[in-house]
A and B are shown apart, each in its own frame.
Chain A
Amino acid sequence: MKKFKKPPPYYLPAPSRWPISGAVGLFLLLLGIMNIIHGNWYGHYFFMGGALLLCFVMFGWFSAVINESLLGLHSHKMTMTYRLGMLWFIVSEVAFFGIFFGALFYTRLFAVPTLGGLMGSAETHAILWPTFKAAWPLLKNPNPQLFMGPKAVMPALGLPAVNTVILMTSAVFITIAHWHLQKKQARQTHFFLFLTILFGILFLGCQGYEYHEAYTKMHLTLESGIYGTTFFMLTGFHAAHVTVGALMLLVILIRSLKGHFLPEHHFAFSAVSWYWHFVDVVWLFLFIFVYWL
């Protein structure tokens, strides 16, 4: 592959077909989801078309950027842009999770106590559901006919604690992989990257098992009132992010096997490792506030 001796100060890409295709893909995907919800027969076609198009775009667009990187078109300044982009993308993700935590805290501190007559005006409690008792985790909802509560609470010590250890260990592994990358030890890098992915998948497996237990044995579902709602939405979005993170790690492993990364030039590796640490930290908060306290 031809390599430029010195990269241009800042590489400006030529007009590209990927963005507009990505916009169409996103449009079809969301349109598909909403039509599936509405039970329209064409929803699945839109969804599949959009998803395939988006996968194609991601593959093509990332390949184009990787090729530019391999051609040596990415100057230090260019790399800085990518780093800033990833950093602030993660900040926006923090805000996304933040609002779900905000909903959890508001529910626990204000909504449930008010319904139980423990704060604010007692009328809310007296008029709406006078027999309702505030508690957390909430097993008996204000209106059990509409929202039947769960039979049991997901214990923190047990599978969630094991999962915490698994995810934290995988965070250690990716850091070790990073050290080896910086020391140009390719085999160790690959090994620890592989272990990171393995532990990520293990985590997802445990999470899946936990969900299965919750649905089949504990009657803890999305529909079982605010406890089930916050539990599944928070852990569910986290699990979705772990899945995306694991896919990103897989791409990084493949690229690492192809020898794409140099000790001084490996933005993609750093970006994925930041992302992985981000999902770790979110998990710590989940473990504390959703499972434990």
Chain B
Amino acid sequence: MTQNHKSMLALISRWLFTTNHKDIGTLYLILSGIMFFIGGIMAMMIRIQLYRPGITFIDPNFYNQLVTLHGLIMIFGAIMPAFVGLANWMIPLMIGAPDMALPRLNNWSFWILPFAFLILLSTLFLPGAAPNFGWTMYTPLSTTYGPPSTDFLIAAIHLLGISSIIGAINIIATIINLRTPSMTYMKMPLFVWSWFITAFLLIIAMPVLAGVVTMMLFDRHFGTSFFNAAGGGDPVLYQHLFWFFGHPEVYIMILPGFGIISEIIPTFSRKKIFGYTFMVLAIASIAFLSFIVWAHHMFTTGMALSAQIIFMYTTMLIAVPTGVKVFNWVATLFRGAITFETPMLFAIAFVILFSIGGFSGLMLAVVPADYQYQDTYFVVAHFHYVLVTGALFSIMAAIYYWLPKWTGHYYNETLGQLHFWITVVAVNVTFFPMHFLGLAGMPRRIADYPLQYTDFNQIISIGAFVLGLAQIIFLYNIIRTIFYGKKATSRVWEGAQGLEWSIASPAPYHTFQT
């Protein structure tokens, strides 16, 4: 074996066998980036199809598969692994831990994921093609009428679930057990707090999803009748169980984002966060409420009036802790010495645009109004505002914010600002008109539409393409930072507070000792 081969082998085994939280965090982030671009390409194909009415680009069944896989990949492949990657990188640094509590399990929970997505993407090439019933996998579309590849989707979901549960256990054990002695709970950075609570949500929610898809598998192949009324079951039961997972899942995808924004805004306002205790309590109460609001996803499926009213009120209650958070972010900005570096720009855009998504969520919570909005583009607009300008913006902010700590180089600020401004304009051009389309009655998840919706759909498609292309600037900027970039100081940002800024940039391979 030549020297070259040996070093190649060493490089591969380093990443395959690693037990280092920084390596594993990097792996998570790389996977998330790959899945983000795959999911993005699917979104672009959807937007080409919708540029004009009529079946112009792809056939409707393939369109349905793209909608399904775009959702699953962006949720489980892009957003969640990115947050777990950030948790892996930052939690040990922020609480002064030597590593994650269970380093080998950490490696396992990462390496399960590529296999899960291998299975998920392979469904595109299986006979009968990929799952085509939307990421929510409603029965009987997924049981009686589901394509054969549904079973492979179930296998992929089981893998994702196992990975998430192990990851969550690891994070909880790390935070409870490995804080440096002076780091009491109420001194923990808010990013750590947000992940602490998210991990509990994962531990409760992911087994629920595993159980539901198991029932689906048994209904499909072993003659059970959980979701079949002919045997005394009920397809609506599926929706209840799925959304009992699904709504906490929504908060799993936003709470770590809240934590990130609560780190970035104080840094660039050069002030302490306003109302720390209330920020913690707000995250905890949002997490609690997430378990008692699930039926607002299914107001139109048929439910007792009293149940609808209860779920409407519990849903609206969530606006209170969320309002506390937005208020505190704004109060932190108030009279701060603010500078507008790229992470801060994304953070401010997050606060404004996430609030828009929150408000449309409130509109959807009103039962009689929801009868109108249900299954229209209004819903699509709502969840893209909370997931793209919410979760995704917080991830981008976090990457710009901590990239100098990871790589030891500053990113190119001009490119960062360019990326931000194109993205923030394009995101609104893409998703804001969806509100109008939804109110005008355009249904979601359908490959074609009547003529009168054409103008807005063309605007949306153009916005989506600009949005997609702008991410190439992001990718280029990151790669450039890894190899070139100005040398970063250990504090990186003038106003940065916290343990992670007390160590060198790039962070040494092993940091704290217990």
Seen from chain A, the residues whose Cβ lies within 8 Å of a Cβ on chain B are 9-10, 12-20, 22-24, 26-27, 30-31, 33-34, 37-38, 61, 77, 80-81, 84-85, 88-89, 91-93, 95-96, 98-100, 102-103, 106-107, 110-112, 114-115, 120, 128, 138, 141-143, 146-147, 221-223, 225-229, 232-233
Q: Take A102-B244, A141-B232, A222-B224 as given contacts and tell me if A95 and B208 are in contact as well, using a CB distance cutoff of 8 Å.
A: yes
Cβ contact of B211, chosen from A13, A100, A111, A223, cutoff 8 A = A100
Report whether A23 and B234 are in contact in the complex, using a CB–CB cutoff of 8 Å.
no
Report whether A229 and B226 are in contact in the complex, using a CB–CB cutoff of 8 Å.
yes
Report whether B231 and A143 are in contact in the complex, using a CB–CB cutoff of 8 Å.
yes
Report whether B241 and A102 are in contact in the complex, using a CB–CB cutoff of 8 Å.
yes
Report whether B111 and A226 are in contact in the complex, using a CB–CB cutoff of 8 Å.
no
- Over the window 181-217 of chain B, the binary record of Cβ atoms lying under 8 Å from chain A Cβ atoms (1 yes, 0 no) is 0000000000000000000000111111011100100
Chain B contact-residue range equals: 35 or more
Report whether B225 and A33 are in contact in the complex, using a CB–CB cutoff of 8 Å.
no
- Over the window 131-157 of chain B, the binary record of Cβ atoms lying under 8 Å from chain A Cβ atoms (1 yes, 0 no) is 000000000000000001001101100
Give the shortest distance, in Å, between B375 (CB) and chain A (any CB). 21
Give the shortest distance, in Å, between A2 (CB) and chain B (any CB). 22
Q: Take A92-B204, A233-B218 as given contacts and tell me if A26 and B115 are in contact as well, using a CB distance cutoff of 8 Å.
A: yes
Report whether A92 and B207 are in contact in the complex, using a CB–CB cutoff of 8 Å.
yes
A137–B184 CA distance with the chains assembled, in angstroms: 53
Give the shortest distance, in Å, between A233 (CB) and chain B (any CB). 7
Q: Take A34-B155, A103-B215 as given contacts and tell me if A10 and B178 are in contact as well, using a CB distance cutoff of 8 Å.
A: yes
Interface flag for B173 (CB, 8 Å): yes
**B contacts with A: majority SS:** helix
Cβ contact of A142, chosen from B18, B20, B229, B514, cutoff 8 A = B229
Report whether B17 and A15 are in contact in the complex, using a CB–CB cutoff of 8 Å.
yes
Report whether A120 and B302 are in contact in the complex, using a CB–CB cutoff of 8 Å.
yes
A95–B201 CA distance with the chains assembled, in angstroms: 11
Chain A residues with CB under 8 A of B119:
27, 30-31
Count of A-B residue pairs with CB < 8 Å: 203
Interface segment, one of B100-108, B468-476, B497-505: B100-108
Report whether A99 and B241 are in contact in the complex, using a CB–CB cutoff of 8 Å.
yes
Report whether B165 and A92 are in contact in the complex, using a CB–CB cutoff of 8 Å.
yes
Report whether A120 and B304 are in contact in the complex, using a CB–CB cutoff of 8 Å.
yes
A226–B227 CA distance with the chains assembled, in angstroms: 9
B 261-279 contacts with A by CB, 8 A: none
A143–B228 CA distance with the chains assembled, in angstroms: 10
Report whether B232 and A111 are in contact in the complex, using a CB–CB cutoff of 8 Å.
yes
Report whether A19 and B105 are in contact in the complex, using a CB–CB cutoff of 8 Å.
yes
- Over the window 291-329 of chain B, the binary record of Cβ atoms lying under 8 Å from chain A Cβ atoms (1 yes, 0 no) is 000000000001010000000000000000000000000
Report whether B111 and A23 are in contact in the complex, using a CB–CB cutoff of 8 Å.
yes
Report whether B241 and A103 are in contact in the complex, using a CB–CB cutoff of 8 Å.
yes
27 contacts between A and B (CB under 8 A): A15-B13, A16-B104, A20-B16, A23-B111, A26-B115, A26-B159, A26-B162, A27-B119, A38-B148, A77-B514, A81-B102, A81-B173, A92-B169, A95-B204, A95-B205, A95-B207, A96-B211, A99-B207, A99-B212, A102-B244, A107-B233, A107-B234, A107-B237, A141-B230, A226-B225, A226-B231, A233-B224
Interface flag for B240 (CB, 8 Å): yes
Report whether B302 and A15 are in contact in the complex, using a CB–CB cutoff of 8 Å.
no
Report whether B231 and A23 are in contact in the complex, using a CB–CB cutoff of 8 Å.
no
Beyond the given pairs A10-B514, A14-B19, 15 more chain A to chain B contacts, judged by CB atoms under 8 angstroms and listed by A's residue number, are: A12-B19, A16-B17, A22-B108, A24-B115, A31-B119, A84-B101, A92-B204, A115-B234, A138-B232, A146-B228, A147-B225, A222-B218, A223-B223, A226-B231, A233-B226
Report whether A26 and B244 are in contact in the complex, using a CB–CB cutoff of 8 Å.
no
The closest CB in chain B to the CB of A225 belongs to B231
A138–B233 CA distance with the chains assembled, in angstroms: 11
Interface flag for B284 (CB, 8 Å): no
Q: Take A19-B108, A23-B111, A107-B232 as given contacts and tell me if A37 and B221 are in contact as well, using a CB distance cutoff of 8 Å.
A: yes
